[in-house]
Amino acid sequence: MTPLSLLKEVRSPLGAAIALQTLAAVAGVLLFVALADLAEQLPHGAAAIWPPLVLGAIAVLAATLLTSAATTLSHLADTRLQLRLRQRLADRIGRLPLGWFATQGAGRVAKVVRDDVHGLHHLVAHTLLDVTAVVVTPLAALGFLIAADPWLALVSVLPLVVGVALFARSLAGSAAQFTEYGTAQREINAGVVEFVNGIAVVKTYGGGQRAHRRFADATAVFHDFFRAWAGRTTTITTSAFLAVSAPAVLVVVLGVGIWLVDSQISSPADLLTAALLAPPMAAPLAAIGTWMQQLRAGVSAAESVTALLAEPELPQPQAPRIPDGSVVRLENVAFSYDGETEVLRGIDLELRPGTVTALVGPSGAGKSTVALLVARFHDVTRGRITLGGVDVRELSTETLFQHIGFVFQDAMLLRMSVADNIRLGRPSATDAQVHAAARAARVHDRIVEDPRGYDAIVGVDVDFSGGERQRIAIARAVLADTPVLVLDEATAFADPESEELIQDALSELARGRTLLVVAHRLRTIVDADQIVVLSEGQIVHKGRHGDLLAEPGRYARMWQAQEGSHT
Ligand SMILES: Nc1ncnc2c1ncn2[C@@H]1O[C@H](COP(=O)(O)OP(=O)(O)OP(=O)(O)O)[C@@H](O)[C@H]1O
């Protein structure tokens, strides 16, 4: 799909709008022709001026009505396109693997849905009509002039030709310059972002000079580049603007035109027509930069939308199967984020119902990745993951999430009431069930601290700390009541009281379920049925706390390091 094929959806209204705008531009030129005729007829009395007067009035009326009809149609096309695109994007976004969002960030989705769809609005509703007008007006004017007097037409088109030649010269080799311009701009932006993001560090450690060097250097590079570029092109660009400016055009047309009239090659009336038509014929060239930029922005918005629509979706099974029980098995699983480096290899693991499995290991070992794969945020690169004996790729998303729930580190709350946030786990839950889930998650007391309690809107009436958000997410999982639960233990930064509450909530949640926990502190998982030690994407040990501690190895060392730091 090419970016502009997006516009196929609205080909008919947009085509009609462009056709109407073309007629409007011709009518606009006709007005000048009528004016010239009017001036010519003035000495011949009232009867003679009526026809051009009526023609002028019709031209104005037609230009106004046609432009307004074209704009209405282009806006209708735009509204239809926006609706279709937003539906298609929502549909596509809904079918992307959940892991995609972690990698790409919600920022890209927001940019496309908000900014790029809006960028397309500009292209469809305005830019295409503007471009039509600036292309058709000179052509229509030239057509009228050629019909009236070819010599004057030639003179009138001269400033335009000179202008085009000068602009072409000033733009020669500009592709490389524009690339350099873009690179320099990006470097400045990166410098600003780095500086602003690091402002706390900069202020704390007083490294102001060094920290903003990247920004300062990028600005200096940009300044030098731009000065050199402007120096090379200013004279020629200014000459081009001058060539197509109304006074310059009039000087040329009147200067040569008067000589043509004197030499009886042209009539005074045709000279008047040329003097009226030549400036609007040349003027659009001065705006060439603006509309090229608008076209480029529109095309680039279309490219972003097309790219998002082309993102590979998570394959859905043709004939979804039903799992038999809720045993989860990872069989010789390998996974790569980038298709090159495998971050997991040969993972064999069984999560039996009612047991707790803890994943431990150094940072970057692949613990979170295993958790994400079990919840099918990504599909495995090799091997398979089964739930109740069925490959998770053969389950419908609905069935999968009826069986597997998850609570990840950055517990997401939506801008809705606290009760509805918890109810996301089970939309049909009664108030009493919501409250019971919140109690089990040790967050009920915090919720009722606010006078609006469960009706308080998150982010508007009430804000929660990270630990509280996580407990609300746990309440949601309690309510969803899935037999398998994947948890990314995120208590590392919680205060001791909050940590204790989260641990209580988790123990409550774990009762009777299959639990897979990404554990950062070993102390919380000493009672786990199975501790899996990962290192560099592979399982290096598996067993219970006591057994693992007994054998010298990574687990014993990790325990020593953590417990040593507690004593
Ligand atoms: N979205 C991603 N895109 C590319 N590589 C990733 C992505 N997420 C993780 N990785 C890489 O995969 C490997 C395993 O990461 P993972 O987050 O699973 O480790 P972890 O054991 O959970 O680490 P931590 O304890 O620090 O959270 C790391 O090398 C990491 O850099």
Q: What is the pLDDT of residues 5-57, one digit of tens each?
A: 778 888 889 999 999 999 999 999 899 889 888 888 888 888 888 898 999 99
**Same domain, yes or no: 295 and 411:** no
Q: Which of 313, 348, 378 is the last residue of a domain?
A: 313
| Residue 552 falls inside a structural domain | yes
Q: How far is the CA of 344 from the centre of ligand 1 (A)?
A: 10
CATH number at residue 47: 1.20.1560.10
Whether ligand 1 lies within 6 angstroms of the CB of 307 is answered as no
Whether ligand 1 lies within 6 angstroms of the CB of 21 is answered as no
Written as one string, the DSSP assignment of 274-300 is HHHHHHHHHGGGGGHHHHHHHHHHHHH
pLDDT tens for each residue of 485-538: 888 876 545 566 666 777 777 777 777 788 898 888 787 778 888 999 999 999
Domain residue limits at 400: 328-566
| Residue 97 falls inside a structural domain | yes
**Same domain, yes or no: 299 and 348:** no
Contacts of 212 (CB under 8 A, 6+ apart): 191, 195, 202
| Residue 513 falls inside a structural domain | yes
pLDDT of 182 strictly over 90: no
Q: What percent of the chain has pLDDT over 70?
A: 92
CA-based angle 339:341:345, to the nearest 5? 100
| Residue 339 falls inside a structural domain | yes
**What is the total count of domains within the chain?**
2
Whether ligand 1 lies within 6 angstroms of the CB of 103 is answered as yes
Whether ligand 1 lies within 6 angstroms of the CB of 337 is answered as yes
**The predicted structure's pLDDT at residue 567:** 46
Sorting pLDDT into bands at 50, 70 and 90, what band is 236? confident
**Same domain, yes or no: 95 and 39:** yes
Beta strand 356-360 pairing with 514-518: parallel
**Same domain, yes or no: 371 and 296:** no
**Same domain, yes or no: 443 and 306:** no
Q: Which atom of ligand 1 is nearest to the CA of 371?
A: 18
Q: How far is the CA of 306 from the centre of ligand 1 (A)?
A: 29
Mutate to test the pocket of ligand 1, among 344, 359, 368 (most ligand atoms within 8 A of CB): 368
CATH number at residue 442: 3.40.50.300
**Same domain, yes or no: 298 and 332:** no
Whole-angstrom CA distances from 397 to 220, 314, 321, 393 are: 53, 10, 11, 9
On average, the pLDDT of the chain sits at 85
Whether ligand 1 lies within 6 angstroms of the CB of 368 is answered as yes
Mutate to test the pocket of ligand 1, among 369, 378, 532, 539 (most ligand atoms within 8 A of CB): 369
pLDDT of 162 strictly over 50: yes
Whether ligand 1 lies within 6 angstroms of the CB of 132 is answered as no
Protein residue closest via CA to atom 26 of ligand 1? 363
pLDDT of 104 strictly over 70: no
Beta strand 382-387 pairing with 390-391: antiparallel
| Residue 393 falls inside a structural domain | yes
**Same domain, yes or no: 411 and 449:** yes
**Same domain, yes or no: 302 and 423:** no
Could you tell me how far CA 135 lies from the centroid of its own chain? 32
For residue 496, with 0-12 CB atoms within 10 Å meaning exposed, 13-18 middle and 19 or more buried, which class applies? exposed
What would the mean pLDDT of 306-320 be, rounded to a whole number? 86
Q: How far is the CA of 6 from the centre of ligand 1 (A)?
A: 36
pLDDT tens for each residue of 258-272: 999 999 898 888 898
Give me the long-range contacts of 490-495 (CB less than 8 A, separation at least 24).
490/408, 490/409, 490/410, 490/411, 490/466, 491/467, 491/520, 491/521, 491/524, 492/520, 492/521, 493/466, 494/466, 494/467, 494/470, 495/467
Q: HSE on the CB side for 133, CA within 13 Å?
A: 22
Protein residue closest via CA to atom 29 of ligand 1? 364
**Same domain, yes or no: 365 and 455:** yes
| Residue 126 falls inside a structural domain | yes
**Same domain, yes or no: 309 and 428:** no
Whether ligand 1 lies within 6 angstroms of the CB of 367 is answered as yes
Whether ligand 1 lies within 6 angstroms of the CB of 362 is answered as no
Q: Which of 278, 313, 348 is the last residue of a domain?
A: 313
**Same domain, yes or no: 343 and 299:** no
pLDDT tens for each residue of 89-98: 888 887 787 7
**Same domain, yes or no: 371 and 299:** no
**The predicted structure's pLDDT at residue 373:** 93
Neighbours of 156 (CB within 10 A): 28
Whether ligand 1 lies within 6 angstroms of the CB of 102 is answered as yes
| Residue 273 falls inside a structural domain | no
Q: What's the one-letter identity of residue 495?
A: D
What would the mean pLDDT of 70-94 be, rounded to a whole number? 89
| Residue 239 falls inside a structural domain | no
Q: Which of 279, 313, 347 is the last residue of a domain?
A: 313
